[in-house]
Structure 1
Amino acid sequence: MPPLRHGDAARGRLLGHGAEGRGVTPAPGIRIRGTLDFGDGYRIPGLDLDVPAGQWTCLLGPSGVGKSTLLRLIAGLDAGGALEGEIAASDGRALAGRIAWMGQSDLLAPWLDVAGNVGLGARLRGERADPARIEGLIAEVGLAGHKAKRPPALSGGMRQRVALARTLMEDRPVALLDEPFSALDARTRAEMQELAFRVLAGRTVLIVTHDPAEAARLGHQIHVMTEIGLSPFPAPAAPPIRPAGARETLEAQAALLAALRAPGAVIEGVS
């Protein structure tokens, strides 16, 4: 493989810490309390968010309200804002070293092929990634015929699938996903949602999305974030991952869209 390049240490902090292949520790819940301050007079007070252990929590909202900022703060990354309050794990331990992160930017190393990018986290830690697991994840995301290609030869959707495979490769108890399926066509998006939901079973997942349909399908818990704050939304009674065409999924999708269009309105449950 080619030598590591400048900036790889930063990629390592984004990808996760600790040895790939070790047993995953029990997933903690996450508690967020306080005021989100962007430093330009824009503040979101009264944040009160519990992310239950071992479940998927969807954070839905329009662009520019601070969803990605909050996710980056939880991950311990530079975020363009600050939380005046606390971010804590339910088991009392630090979250550092237990998070797999997938940001909106794929952060693929352009000089590495698909396989090299999927195993990049282990390489940055000086470890040997499991080649069989790399091969398996590449196949799962539908890129088995492209594993020798480098990022410039891939479409945006293919790059996003490489980033997803890399995140799943990290095998952490907590996964923070920022618009992980946004570049995919409808069929591939549904397939990758199902893959991620299966591979991340038992993990604590917080996913940022702009898509009411995605939140209605994936979330054990759903929270709507607008410029005036954060509101819980009652998820459909059926457990995820829910059929996209099920009545309660469609009703939740419509109600979530209405909540986004009318910030501050009372959010009612769905039948």
Structure 2
Amino acid sequence: MSTVDEKTATNGSSGAVRAQAQGEAQTPMIRVDHLTKVFGSGSGADEAVKLAGEGVGRKEIQSRTGATLAVSDVSFDIAPGELFVIMGLSGSGKSTLVRLLNRLIEPTSGTIDVDGRDLGSLGDADLRTLRNERMSMVFQHFALLPHRTVAQNAEYGLQIRGVGAAERRRTAQWALEQVGLGDRADAYPGQLSGGMQQRVGLARALASDTDVLLMDEPYSALDPLIRRDMQKLLVRLQRELRKTIVFITHDLNEAMLLGDRILLLKDGRLVQVGTGPEILASPADDYVAEFVSDVDRSRVLTATDVIREPRITVTLDEKPADVLVRLGKAEATGAYVVDDEHRILGVVRDDWLGHAASTGVTSIDRSALVEEYRTTEPDRPLIDLLHAVGRNPVPLAVVDDGRLTGVVPRGAVLAALSTHSDAKDALSASTHDRNGNG
């Protein structure tokens, strides 16, 4: 038996967080209700809100009123521990929306609740406390203080909060170690690369230990390889720390990669909210369908999205002759043998069953089991599974907490990719690998 190669941690938050975000009802960490923001004043702004309610488009509203409709009647909830992505093209309203979430911008209408508290009801002192202790922000252009060391930047939020120097330094060092900069505490921002500076910004947010992280296109200024490293880092930290994260991006592949759920904006209006696979499978309209047409599905869809019930599983006490009949009906050449807790003991092959049945053996001998199978975690992206499917007498096993939860047949993987150009490449690469050429 072997597992698929070490997980690359680039497929978004953990399955547990994703399930939590979609599962049982719970009190949202953030609740947004009919939120609207118009940049303008007086009768023009009022008229803009009225026209928006009638479905008039943003350009027409601006032409008729002189006001800009930045966000229009947007409602959504974010669960505790969810990595929630807000995305759209430039000018869609996503950056305005994230700034409304901590009242850096005042809404024109609508409400925002954070952990049950209405932001609109907070006075200046309570609002400062919320920003210092409940919400941190990671900016696109780092927003570091150049005259302070890396450690001093990381501990800045704690300093504002009045935390003692020793505790600040200890917490900042922990945060820097989390982002891989534990040995650069005494450096200055100007001595670091762009990727390292963004890590400092993330460390500052972690050191503040707030419930919510607001991340406004934090990686868009980074080179592609550094950006990929930062995405992996965020995924790892989210698995370990389970923060509520609101992540803004214009990159759909990044959104699909990171988000438990994704909110798509167009011209300030909410177009669709859902998981990456949900949006790929059922786009809300032609705009979304066009938007997702070039998404690399092999990196978005996971084993969970193509999981199937095993056609057959058996236990050691079953008669080989009976199992052989079941294998024939399932058109299979082998079956997983599991214990009472559905943990995999091994695989029994049809050739051994045939010999055992012909000689009157009445149960499956543990010594006859082979390890001709591979396993994967439920949240492993399909691109990591292509080399493992279809290479053994049984399909790739999906294992969660040591238990067999389902299988991933080769056909299911290729079917899931069949609406995307990657399917052809995936099949070619998989076949190339099976033939021992790669």
What TM-score, normalized to structure 1? 0.70
Q: Does structure 1 residue 64 correspond to structure 2 residue 65? A: no
Give the equivalent residue in structure 2 for 1:87.
Answer: 112
Any idea what SS the aligned residue of 1:71 has? helix
AA of the residue aligned to 1:157: G
Q: Percent identity?
A: 33
Deviations 1:12-65 (A, max 9, x none): xxxxxxxxxxxxxx9823324232212252214221222222211101111222
| CA–CA distance in structure 1, aligned partners of residues 173 and 137 of structure 2 | 21
Q: 1:212 to 1:197 in 2, by over 3 A?
A: same
Any idea what SS the aligned residue of 1:232 has? strand
Give the equivalent residue in structure 2 for 1:34.
Answer: 35
Give the equivalent residue in structure 2 for 1:235.
Answer: 275
| CA–CA distance in structure 1, aligned partners of residues 184 and 270 of structure 2 | 41
Give the equivalent residue in structure 1 for 2:77.
Answer: 50
Gap runs ≥5 in structure 1: 1-25, 255-271
Q: Does structure 1 residue 190 correspond to structure 2 residue 222? A: no
Give the equivalent residue in structure 1 for 2:153.
Answer: 117
| Deviation for aligned residue 1:145 | 4.2
Question: Could you say which structure has the larger radius of gyration?
Answer: 2
| CA–CA distance in structure 1, aligned partners of residues 112 and 379 of structure 2 | 27
| CA–CA distance in structure 1, aligned partners of residues 91 and 79 of structure 2 | 25
Give the equivalent residue in structure 1 for 2:181.
Answer: 143
Contact 2:195–2:230 (8 Å) recurs in 1: no
| CA–CA distance in structure 2, aligned partners of residues 245 and 110 of structure 1 | 41
Contact 2:154–2:200 (8 Å) recurs in 1: yes
Q: Does structure 1 residue 163 correspond to structure 2 residue 190? A: no
Any idea what SS the aligned residue of 1:106 has? coil
AA of the residue aligned to 2:275: A
Deviations 1:152-186 (A, max 9, x none): 22232221111111111111111111112223344
AA of the residue aligned to 2:254: E
Gap runs ≥5 in structure 2: 1-26, 41-65, 120-126, 278-301, 305-377, 385-412, 421-438
Any idea what SS the aligned residue of 1:181 has? coil
Across the two proteins, how many residue pairs are aligned to each other? Answer: 224
| CA–CA distance in structure 1, aligned partners of residues 147 and 174 of structure 2 | 22
Contact 1:60–1:222 (8 Å) recurs in 2: yes
| Deviation for aligned residue 1:211 | 1.2
Give the equivalent residue in structure 2 for 1:268.
Answer: none
Q: 1:242 to 1:48 in 2, by over 3 A?
A: farther
| Deviation for aligned residue 1:209 | 0.6
Indicate which of 117, 120, 126 corresponds to 2:162.
126
What TM-score, normalized to structure 2? 0.46
| CA–CA distance in structure 1, aligned partners of residues 380 and 254 of structure 2 | 10
Q: 1:125 to 1:133 in 2, by over 3 A?
A: closer
Does 102-111 or 212-221 show the bigger shift? 102-111
Any idea what SS the aligned residue of 2:186 has? coil
- Larger RCO (CA under 8 A, 6+ residues apart): 1
Give the equivalent residue in structure 2 for 1:21.
Answer: none
AA of the residue aligned to 1:54: G
